[in-house]
């Protein structure tokens, strides 16, 4: 051992939780950086997908959950497609966002933190996305009511965005899928 060096113990509970929730084995990553090299949003990220995975491996939970990277991810799946070890990094990012929300870690990307749960709740309750509902509620919650008013009105007047959502068959089934997913998440959480 090097004189003056300090041995650091890594808490493995974080990587175990992320692996369980995402269904991925992050330890398979050998950090070739292909995910970050192909990521279309890496330029806006603090670390990039490969470094987020590395920080999860090192148990740096607070740092990962406070990072804007998990919210900036565009969910395009380019990273997972490029990964030579078939790690679905999108599922890892989804798991990290869920953990952050559950633990009340505020997103540095306020707009995304508002959009994410709002989008899911609309799909859950209506069975599909309704853009006018999303737009109206998002603008209200983000306190940015006027910035897109002109284009929004034009789209409504031209019939591009219907004011009222269509009733769809199967909305109860969609709601049941969300409820099953929540039960599975709770069951998969390490205790």
What CATH number should be reported for the domain holding residue 49? 1.10.1060.10
- Please tell me whether residues 131 and 154 are part of one structural domain: yes
- Please tell me whether residues 60 and 127 are part of one structural domain: no
Eight-class DSSP state of 42: G
167 part of a folded domain:
yes
Domain C-terminal end among 79, 102, 125? 102
Domain count within the chain: 2
54 part of a folded domain:
yes
Helix H, strand E, coil C: the string for 50-96 is HHHHHHHHCCCHHHHHHCCHHHHCCCCCHHHHHCCCCCCHHHHHHHH
Please give the pLDDT value at position 20.
95
- Please tell me whether residues 96 and 131 are part of one structural domain: no
Owning domain of residue 20: 13-102
Please give the pLDDT value at position 189.
65
Please give the pLDDT value at position 18.
97
Q: What is the pTM of this model?
A: 0.69
Q: Residue 126 and residue 137: Cα distance in Å, rounded?
A: 14
Domain C-terminal end among 71, 102, 133? 102
Q: Residue 66 and residue 100: Cα distance in Å, rounded?
A: 8
Sign of CA dihedral 153, 159, 165, 170: negative
Please, what are the averages of pLDDT over each run of 10 residues along the chain (191 residues)?
73 94 96 94 94 96 94 91 96 94 84 80 84 85 82 85 81 87 76 59
Q: Residue 93 and residue 165: Cα distance in Å, rounded?
A: 30
Please give the pLDDT value at position 124.
84
Domain C-terminal end among 55, 76, 102? 102
172 part of a folded domain:
yes
Please give the pLDDT value at position 1.
58
74 part of a folded domain:
yes
8 part of a folded domain:
no
């Amino acid at each position: 051992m090097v004189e003056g060096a300090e041995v650091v113990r890594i808490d493995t509970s974080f990587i175990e939780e992320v692996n369980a929730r995402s269904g991925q084995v992050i330890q398979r990553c050998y950090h070739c950086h292909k995910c970050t090299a192909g990521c279309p949003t890496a330029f806006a990220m603090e670390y990039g997908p490969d470094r987020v995975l590395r920080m999860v491996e090192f148990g740096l939970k607070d740092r990962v959950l406070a990072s804007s990277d998990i919210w900036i991810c565009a969910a395009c799946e380019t990273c997972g497609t490029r990964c030579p070890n078939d790690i679905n990094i999108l599922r890892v990012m989804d798991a990290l966002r869920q953990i952050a929300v559950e633990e009340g870690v505020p997103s540095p990307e306020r707009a995304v933190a508002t959009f994410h749960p709002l989008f899911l709740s609309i799909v859950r309750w209506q069975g599909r996305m309704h853009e006018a509902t999303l737009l109206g509620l998002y603008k209200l919650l983000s306190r940015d009511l006027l910035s897109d008013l002109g284009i929004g009105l034009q789209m409504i007047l031209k019939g591009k965005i219907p004011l009222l959502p269509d009733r769809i068959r199967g909305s109860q089934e969609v709601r049941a899928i969300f409820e099953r997913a929540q039960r599975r998440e709770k069951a998969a959480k390490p205790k």
